[in-house]
Structure 1
């Protein structure tokens, strides 16, 4: 597949100076822009998927009149969050070997 070019964007000199100041050693402006655009696209895709799921849940509730109590949803989210925290903590602890 051929690559495409992102259009040039005019920015104020101060923003360009700030941008240059945050580039990591060896990182190019092009790499920074590509990484940032990829992150923004991923974020927007996640937002869109979330909104679609919310719209479907709302439509389902309107059709059926049934749904899950907020307390149950929050409890499930807390359980998932705690499991993820434990997973991440175990990855960052030095091994006992």
Structure 2
């Protein structure tokens, strides 16, 4: 497979100097940029998959009616928080 180049990007001279300052031993600026681009692509793919799964889970919950209303969840969390606070107060006395 034939390789392709990424478009050149303009950066301020001080930023380029900062970039060059963080390169590892033997690493080129091109290798660094490629690695950074690959990382962001992977992150965005993972993020899109996470959102897709979340939406599917919401739709499944709506379809089956198996969800718990938000006010009940919040009430349970508040009860746990209050219990933890009370426990903390008792320990400090």
| Length-normalised TM-score, structure 2 | 0.69
Q: Which residue of 2 aligns with 1:66?
A: 66
Alpha-carbon distance between aligned partners in 2 of 1:46 and 1:32, rounded to the nearest angstrom: 21
Alpha-carbon distance between aligned partners in 2 of 1:48 and 1:31, rounded to the nearest angstrom: 26
Runs in 1 of length 4+ with deviation above 6 angstroms? none
Superimposed CA distance per residue, residues 15-59 of structure 1 (whole angstroms, 9 cap, x where no aligned partner): 101101001111000110111111111111110100000000011
- Structure 2 unmatched runs, 5+: 74-93
Structure showing greater radius of gyration is: 2
Counterpart mapping for 1:38-53 below 5 A: 38-53=38-53
Q: Which residue of 2 aligns with 1:37?
A: 37
| Length-normalised TM-score, structure 1 | 0.66
Deviation larger for 58-67 or 17-26:
58-67
- Structure 1 unmatched runs, 5+: 71-97
Alpha-carbon distance between aligned partners in 1 of 2:67 and 2:4, rounded to the nearest angstrom: 45
Alpha-carbon distance between aligned partners in 2 of 1:32 and 1:48, rounded to the nearest angstrom: 24
Higher RCO (C-alpha under 8 Å, 6+ residues apart): 2
Alpha-carbon distance between aligned partners in 1 of 2:23 and 2:16, rounded to the nearest angstrom: 11
Alpha-carbon distance between aligned partners in 2 of 1:35 and 1:67, rounded to the nearest angstrom: 41
